[in-house]
Structure 1
Amino acid sequence: MINEIVNVFLQVFTDPFAITLLVFGVLLGIVLGALPGISSTMSLAVLLPVSFSMSPEHGMIFLMAVFSASVYGGSISAILISIPGTPGAIVTQMDGYPMAKKGRAGEALTYAVLASGFGGILGWFLLILLGPLIAAAALHFRSPDYAAVTLFGLCMLAYATPGSTYKALVAGVFGLILATVGLDSLTFIGRLDFGNAYLQGGISMVPVAVGIFGLAEVLKSIEFGKKKLEVITAINRLFPPWSEIKPLWPMAIRGALIGAFVGAIPAAGSAIGVTVSYAQEKRMSKNPEKYGTGIPEGIVAPESSNNACVGGALIPLMTLGIPGDSMTAVLVGAMLIHGLRPGPQLFVERLDFVALIYVALILAIILTTILALLTIRYIARILDAPKNILMTGITILCMVGSYAVRNSIFDVMIMIIFGFIGYLMQKIRMPVAPVVFGLVLGPLLEENIRRSLIVSAGDWSVFFERPISLIFILISVLALALPIFSRSKNQQ
């Protein structure tokens, strides 16, 4: 594995186009992540079609750069305007914004950059250490095991989604239903196509993701009108004294470890990782009452955890083919469109591509840290950008990107429909990410369930005979049952 990583490093450094894509992707990711309402998932979904005209290698380099940088970018708006740009930056604004209001905006942003870089690097090391080990174990999985692991991923998404577990479950089932649209892979009989020739080819993940994450946010911004944001533009001293930085390393390490391991849980997401990290540091602090008043500790721990989740979320994606969060769900779509199926077999058939993802991620993390430090003073101007121009550009990208998948106006119509569906789901506080999860994981779940039943001659007990599948099924049931017990306990 080390040899492949070294070879890919040399290939990337001798490829001017790859370096250009890295720099451009990082800058674009920082900007999009910093803009309120444009999450990392939306950034990836909208820019996903841009990668279709590239080779799989160049496309993945670009997307990994956007992915890593946009996760950091969310902390910028959290600190300067108290509006998190990404879900993982929700906790950062609790101390970041008060610190900026004290006239220490530059230092707050620097703490966020350094903690993000450190957390990202530690998460990357865990990825390259654990990835091959888990993939090697997963090679012994059989169809019942894969079906159970996929079900586990969907149930964990429902359990970990903020709000109602059962709303998330309904959204996930909706995604699974969408995955069945089109010709049956075994019988070639049309399913849920209503006689429409376009639907016989199935519903592509890209227009659904672009609509539900991208266009839905545009519609949401129209509803809120042209409200002007108050941006803290006074950025004075950037680098805090070393005496203030030195005591923060232990909490950066703890935050990164928490983030990486939480990120590795399918569907857990960075929001859980940063919340756990912040709560842990506050509990361990000698002065917990200072948290929320603008202290560096309240920035370093969650930001380190936030970016460590990037490497962590790639572990289940690369080794099992199951997205770690909504962002990696979009990356699954990118890999499938480029003819690559994530999972343990990828480590056997395309170890060079696995190494490419590792190299692209670490280079993106390092570049994000460097470019973020160089551009800190100009960030406030980006947040002052006219909202109408920004949303018009995003709408155009959504339409062009959806059309580019299959050169089909029908896909543009699908994108628009799911834009409105995503907007309405947000209005009733139903999470949208499970829809994409269901659409991505649906074919994998169906394929392995049917294959298992064919081998067992229709005997459903095949899913309970193997220890791996039985364990994951029990955990899935527990994840769905816990909210019921919690609700009953609260009512008592």
Structure 2
Amino acid sequence: MFELFFASLQNILTDPFLSTLAVVGVFFGTIMGAIPGISSTMTLAILLPVSFHMDPETAMVFLMAVFSSSVFGGSISAILMNIPGTPGAIVTQLDGYPMAKKGQGGYALTYALISSTVGGLIGLLLLMLLAPMVIKASMNFRSPEFAMAAIFGLTMLAYSSPGSTFRGIVVGAIGILLGMIGFDAMTDVLRFDYGTVFLQNGIHLVPLSVGLFGLSEILKNFTSIKDKDQQLPKIEKLIPPFNKIMSLWKSILRGSFFGTFIGAIPAAGSAIAVAISYAQEMKLSKNPEKFGKGEIKGISAPEAANNACVGGALIPMMTLGIPGDTMTAILMAALLIHGLQPGPFLFQNNPGFVSYVYSSLFISIFFTLVFGLIMIKFIVKLLNSPKKIVNISIIVLCISGSFAIRNLISDVYVMIFFGLVGYIFFLVNLPPAPLAFGLILGPVLEENLRRSLIISRGS
């Protein structure tokens, strides 16, 4: 695997188009991740149609660059505006914003970027080491085991849902029901199409995700826009003292391991990983009272955990076909669109593609480190731009992206419908993520459970 990794890494770096594509992905991922209300999931869903006319390897270079860089981008608005751009940056603001108010916003962003880089690299290394072990075990999986894996994913989804486990179960059940629309995988009988042609192929994950995580966020932004723009702290010095950076290595390592292993739990997500990492750092600190007032370890550990979750979440998605979080659910949809089925046989039948995933993630982490600090002042200007213009631009991307999936206007209607559903979920305090997970895992559970019952004659 490492030989293929270095070969694909060389191919990307020596190909001007692929290298430029990775830089473009980092550029858009960082910017969109930094805009409050535009999550990493939304960024990936909106930009996914750009990859439709690419070959699978080229598409991964672009999508992994967007994926990884948007995770760091969320920390920029968290530190400068006290508004996390992504859910994984929600803890970063606790110590990042106090540093920014003290005139140390540049230092805080550098701590976040370095921690994010190291965390991403450790997550990638553990992905490369652990994935073959999971594959070896899963090669013995049959329908009963895959059904149990789907049940485990749905259980973890309900357990980790914010607010209430019951609410997560209800929304997940709705997602499972949505997954039953279209042709029955076992009998080819049409179900729940209500006489409409566009429902015969089921609900496509991408327009649902664009609406649920994208359009709904824009609707929330429109209803909460304030007339007065927030004055952002000035960015003066970016590079902190070297000894300060070196003092963070233990917290970065702890955060990286927390992020990778928690990210590998289906549906756990980065928000849980960063919260646990932050709490652990506070517990181990000799001066816990400094946390929340500009403690640099309160930035380094969560940011390392946040980006390490990228590699962790890819483990169940690539090896078992069960997404680790909503972002890997979008990546899973990308693989299916390009004719690749995530799971044990992906490694056996397409080892070259798997190596491109690894090398694309490595390059995106490296380019984010190189261009992250360069882009900060430009991003600050963007964050000061009128919010309505940004929101309208995102709506245009949502519509065009949904249409580009299959060139069907019905996909745009699906996107708009689930955008309204997502906004209603926000109003009644229901988590949206279980809906997407239910849509993905529901058919996996149904097909493997029914096949298991047929094989065992109903036992």
Distance apart, 1:220 and its partner CA: 1.0
Matched, 1:21 2:27: no
1:131 aligns to what? 131
**For 1:404-443, what per-residue CA distance to the aligned partner results, in whole angstroms no more than 9, with x for missing partners?**
1111111111111111011101111101111111111222
Decide whether the 8 Å contact of 2:208 with 2:415 is kept in 1. yes
Residue identity matched to 1:237? K
**In the alignment, what sits opposite 2:216?**
216
Secondary structure class of the residue paired with 1:323: coil
The equivalent of 1:117 in structure 2 is 117
Q: Which residue in the other structure is 1:207 paired with?
A: 207
Structure 1 segments unaligned to the other structure (5+ residues): 460-492
* 3-state SS in 1 of match to 2:104: helix
Instruction: Provide TM-score, normalisation by structure 1.
Output: 0.92
> In structure 2, do the counterparts of structure 1 residues 227 and 169 end up closer, same or farther at CA, with 3 Å as the change threshold?
farther
**Gap regions ≥5 residues in structure 2:** none
* Residue aligning to 2:72: 72
Shift of 1:373: 2.0
Deviates more, 1:12-21 or 1:89-98: 12-21
Residue aligning to 2:83: 83
Name 2:225's counterpart in structure 1: 225
- The alignment partner of 2:237 has SS state of coil
Following superposition of structure 1 onto structure 2, how do residues 260-409 of structure 1 map, counting pairs within 5 Å? 260-409=260-409
Q: TM-score, normalised by structure 2?
A: 0.98
Change (3 A) 1:177 1:101: same
Letter of the 2:16 counterpart: P
Shift of 1:188: 2.0
Task: Identify the range of structure 1 (168-177 vs 11-20) with the bigger mean alpha-carbon deviation.
Answer: 11-20
State the distance in 2 between where 1:274 and 1:198 align.
Answer: 40
CA displacement, residues 218-247 of structure 1 (integer Å, 9 cap, x when unaligned): 111111134444242411111111222222
2:429 and 2:352 map into 1 onto residues whose CA distance is 42
Within 1, Cα distance between the matches of 2:294 and 2:348?
Answer: 49
Equivalents in 2 of 1:436, 1:76: separation in Å? Answer: 27
The residue type paired with residue 389 of structure 2 is I
- Alignment partner, residue 257 of structure 1: 257
- Distance in 2 of aligned mates of 1:228 and 1:140: 60
Q: Is the 8 A contact 2:225 2:387 kept in 1?
A: no
Task: Write the letter of the residue equivalent to 2:435.
Answer: V
Question: Alignment RMSD, CA only?
Answer: 1.1
Measured against aligned partners, the alpha-carbon deviations of 1:175-229 in whole angstroms (never above 9, x if no partner) come to 1111110121232221011111221121111111111111111111111134444
Percent sequence identity is 55
3-state SS of paired residue (1:103): coil
CA distance in 1: counterparts of 2:71 and 2:263, whole angstroms:
13
For 2:397, the aligned partner's letter is L
Task: Tell me if structure 1 keeps the 8 A contact 2:103–2:233.
Answer: no
Q: Deviations over 1:268-288 (max 9, x none)?
A: 111111111111111111110
1:154-173 to structure 2, matched below 5 A, reads: 154-173=154-173
1:101/1:232 contact within 8 Å kept: no
Partner SS for 1:199: coil
| Whole-angstrom distance in 1 between the partners of 2:20 and 2:227 | 36
Q: How many residues align?
A: 459
Query: Which SS does the other structure have where 1:46 is aligned?
Result: helix
**Structure 2 counterpart SS, 1:13:** helix
In structure 2, C-alpha distance between the alignment counterparts of 1:359 and 1:457, rounded to whole Å:
46
Which region of structure 1 is more displaced relative to structure 2, 77-86 or 16-25?
16-25
